């Protein structure tokens, strides 16, 4: 008799009433696994809490993590969920947004990939969809690079599945270094960074196993003109460079020593100039993001002096 994997799903909510019931039902309907959901609301002013209370009352698998403060960010909400997670009777942990729709095999596919590849973290492609009927598959390049975790995460956090042992290390590192780590704007980027910095293997499933809802409240959402515009604003404002500095600090706090990390630290602290920009471009192409076009894009940004 096979034992079904026990998966804890961490769901962060904030004013998600229009979509929340459909998402919770899609999580609870996962096939081939035993599900429990920890959900934390970050101070919703709509009917989100009422929906959650009804769900928790009618289904013991749904547990509300109550808090007397709001973090005012999706990442902050997830950080509190990570810190409060109890893992004694859990085999895997997954993240969930409040507004998507999961395919019934989403988590079983993740578990199968982790076992097959002997991996420490998993993410999959998503099918982005809009209210007007448009759809687009978003996938991540599966070819990890030496330092890609300094420049990016592993795709949409709502696709992540981690073995409990690896999640426990993420939890441990967040607790030990909360003052620094909580400054990361994206909890999923930080999760990927911790796994990879500690020598973990990440696997990327190119098949979408969820519907990724697009609307005005998305943190980043699908790639497109607005997404590119927002990313350009973040880069030119210095936000992206700050996140890279945080990533390097995180590596240092976790005692990751690597010659290429030292090179990156020096480049970030050097005074801007033609020679620095050239070396930045070369570094990006050699160590940077997984997708070739992303490395070209960031290299061009570095060439004109916007990475500062």
pLDDT digits (tens, 9 = 90+) for 249-308: 999 999 877 888 888 888 888 888 999 999 989 999 999 999 999 999 889 988 988 777
pLDDT, tens digit, for every residue of 233-242? 778 788 888 9
pLDDT of 27: 98
d(CA 177, CA 241): 20
pTM across the whole model:
0.93
Tokens of 228: 């590119």
Q: Are 254 and 193 in contact (CB under 8 A)?
A: no
DSSP secondary structure string for all residues of 192-216:
HHHHHHTT--EEEEEEEEEEEE--T
pLDDT of 225: 60
Query: Please, which pLDDT band fits residue 1 given cuts at 50, 70 and 90?
Result: very low
Give the range among 8-22, 88-102, 130-144, 258-272 with minimum mean pLDDT.
Answer: 258-272
d(CA 21, CA 62): 12
d(CA 16, CA 98): 6
pLDDT of 244: 92
Give the range among 132-141, 167-176, 212-221 with minimum mean pLDDT.
Answer: 212-221
Residue 199, sorted as left (phi over 0), alpha (psi -120 to 50) or beta, turns out to be left
Angle 140-27-142 from CA coordinates, rounded to 5°: 15
Q: What are the φ and ψ backbone dihedral angles of 95, each rounded to 5 degrees? A: -100, 150
- Tell me what the pLDDT averaged over the chain comes to: 92
């Amino acid at each position: 008799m096979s034992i079904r994997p026990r998966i804890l799903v961490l769901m962060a909510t904030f004013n998600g009433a229009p979509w929340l019931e459909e998402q919770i039902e899609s999580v609870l309907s996962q096939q081939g696994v035993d599900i429990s959901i920890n959900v934390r609301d970050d101070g919703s002013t709509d009917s989100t809490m009422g929906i959650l209370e009804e769900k928790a009352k009618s289904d013991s698998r749904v547990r509300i993590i109550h808090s007397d403060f709001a973090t005012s960010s999706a990442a902050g909400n997830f950080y509190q969920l990570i810190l409060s997670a109890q893992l004694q009777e859990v085999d895997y942990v997954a993240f969930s947004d409040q507004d998507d729709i999961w395919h019934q095999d989403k988590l079983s596919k993740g578990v199968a990939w982790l076992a097959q590849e002997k991996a420490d973290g998993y993410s999959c492609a998503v099918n982005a969809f809009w209210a007007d009927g448009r759809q687009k598959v978003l996938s991540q390049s599966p070819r990890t690079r030496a330092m890609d975790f300094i420049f990016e995460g592993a795709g949409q956090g709502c696709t992540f599945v981690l073995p409990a042992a690896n999640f426990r290390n993420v939890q441990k590192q967040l607790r030990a270094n909360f003052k620094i780590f909580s400054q990361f704007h994206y909890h999923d980027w930080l999760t990927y960074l911790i796994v990879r910095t500690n020598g973990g293997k990440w696997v990327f499933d190119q098949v979408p196993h969820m519907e990724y809802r697009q609307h005005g409240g998305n943190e980043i959402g699908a790639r497109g003109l607005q997404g590119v515009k927002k990313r350009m604003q973040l880069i030119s404002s210095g936000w992206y460079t700050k996140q890279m500095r945080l990533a390097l600090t995180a590596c240092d706090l976790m005692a990751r020593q690597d010659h290429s990390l030292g090179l990156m630290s020096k480049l970030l602290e050097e005074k801007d100039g033609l020679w620095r920009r050239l070396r930045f471009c070369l570094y990006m192409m050699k160590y940077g993001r997984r997708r070739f076009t992303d490395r070209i894009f960031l290299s061009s940004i570095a060439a004109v002096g916007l990475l500062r």
